[in-house]
């Protein structure tokens, strides 16, 4: 999205939209369906952004005019109406401002999101399942399409790990700061003595690689394993080794797919995921926070969490990087993440708004 320091650049945006409109009128564009889709996607995104900013500008002008009229006529009700409109516009303006910052190389891409349970058995596995559901609900609220690529069920409840593919405009850009360890404090439903437990699970976000991006992966550097898929799937499940796991030996990256019944299709999906992970590693190398983020993934436990979710003895969700918090954990776990996501994105770009990590017990 055209921006400069978080401010929408109208001239650049209008010029680029005119170029894209001209491109879509060229019949030769459709000789390459992939390129055509990329152009149409950029055009739609830019058109949506311009329309949204124009509406925001009109609504702002209307509210200011209303207040000025109210002040001129000493009409307190009219002034309050204008001020109420301004208050309603503030969250939308803030979201659009953050969205204007999504100008990274891969921000517009679809994304993969992995969830892994930490140490702690059933407790952490149940928490990992809750975390996966939270991100699924958040994505669905935004109109994104979510598919389950791979899941490893827990022994008694929850999941050991899961990989989601989330498709939609700026999916990676919005979620990229969610990588890290998430901490849950609650009275355990699995403890007959009703004791308070602390559980950990991690999320890891990386972009789906555009097919036009060349990622060189040597097959000799990889170990490919096949196994029987788990979960729903009818008679086919547990009868053939259709699931595929690829281990990239030089980096120790492991990806897996079991969403298709065909081993060939799952192999193709796993290769695409591996390329995405390697691409994400390259992007991280270009960022100053690469080392800190890599460290957050190495250990799912104390000292590495980015957010705490406390259900007992009080109700609080707090982001330990930005200080943003909510006293309604259930709403957050149902996908109400926008305040947290927007704050962490703004902090990542501006480097401001960090909070001191504190113990919430």
Domain boundaries defined on the chain: 3-99, 111-350
Residues 6+ apart with CB under 8 A from 97: 6, 346
Helix, strand, coil share (%) of the chain residues, nearest 5: 45, 20, 30
Q: HSE-up of 352 (CA within 13 Å, CB side)?
A: 2
Higher pLDDT: 317 or 56? It is 317
pLDDT at position 1: 41
Report the run of H or E that residue 162 belongs to, with start and end. Answer: strand 159-167
Which two three-digit tokens encode residue 14?
């209008």
User: In the CATH scheme, what architecture does the domain 111-350 have?
Assistant: 2-Layer Sandwich (3.30)
pLDDT at position 52: 82
pLDDT at 89 over 80: yes
Nearest partner of 246 among 238, 230, 258, judged by Cα: 258
pLDDT in tens, 6-61: 444 667 777 878 888 888 888 888 888 777 877 887 787 778 778 888 888 899 99
pLDDT at position 332: 97
pLDDT in tens, 271-297: 888 988 888 887 777 664 544 554 545
Q: Please tell us whether the domain made up of 3-99 is placed in CATH 3.40.50.2000.
A: no
Contact between 326 and 339 (Cβ < 8 Å) = yes
Which two three-digit tokens encode residue 216?
């060189």
pLDDT at position 213: 64
How big is the CA angle at 181 (ends 178 and 184), to the nearest 5 degrees?
A: 110
Nearest partner of 149 among 231, 30, 53, 251, judged by Cα: 231
């Amino acid at each position: 999205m055209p921006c400069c320091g978080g401010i929408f650049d109208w001239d650049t945006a209008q010029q680029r939209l005119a170029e894209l409109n001209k491109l879509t009128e060229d019949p030769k564009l459709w000789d390459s369906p992939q390129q055509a889709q990329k152009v149409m996607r950029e055009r739609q995104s830019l058109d949506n952004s311009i329309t949204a900013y124009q509406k925001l500008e009109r609504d702002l002008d209307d509210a200011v005019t209303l207040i000025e009229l109210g002040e001129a006529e000493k009409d307190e009700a009219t002034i309050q109406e204008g001020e109420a409109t301004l208050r309603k516009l503030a969250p939308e303006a803030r979201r659009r401002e953050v969205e204007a910052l999504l100008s990274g190389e891969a921000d517009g891409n679809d994304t993969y999101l992995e969830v892994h349970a930490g140490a702690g058995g059933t407790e952490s596995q149940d928490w990992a399942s809750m975390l996966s559901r939270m991100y699924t609900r958040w994505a669905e609220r935004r109109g994104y399409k979510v598919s389950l690529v791979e899941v490893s069920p827990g022994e008694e409840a929850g999941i050991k790990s899961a990989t989601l593919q989330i498709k939609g405009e700026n999916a990676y850009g919005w979620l990229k700061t969610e990588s890290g360890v998430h901490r849950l404090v609650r009275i355990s439903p699995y403890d007959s003595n009703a004791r308070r437990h602390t559980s950990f699970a991690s999320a890891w976000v990386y972009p789906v690689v555009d097919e036009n991006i060349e990622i060189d992966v040597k097959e000799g550097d990889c170990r490919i394993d096949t196994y029987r898929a788990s979960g729903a799937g009818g008679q086919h499940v547990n009868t053939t080794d259709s699931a595929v796991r690829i281990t990239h030996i030089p980096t120790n990256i492991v990806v897996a797919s079991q969403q298709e019944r065909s081993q060939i299709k799952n192999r193709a999906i796993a290769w695409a995921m591996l390329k995405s992970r390697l691409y994400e590693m390259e992007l991280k190398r270009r960022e100053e926070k690469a080392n800190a983020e890599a460290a957050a993934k190495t250990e799912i436990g104390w000292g590495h969490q980015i957010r705490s979710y406390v259900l007992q003895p009080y109700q609080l969700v707090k982001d330990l990087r930005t200080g943003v918090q909510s006293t309604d954990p259930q709403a957050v776990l149902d996908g109400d993440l926008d305040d947290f996501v927007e704050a962490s994105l703004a902090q990542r770009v501006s480097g401001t708004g960090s909070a001191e990590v504190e113990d919430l017990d």
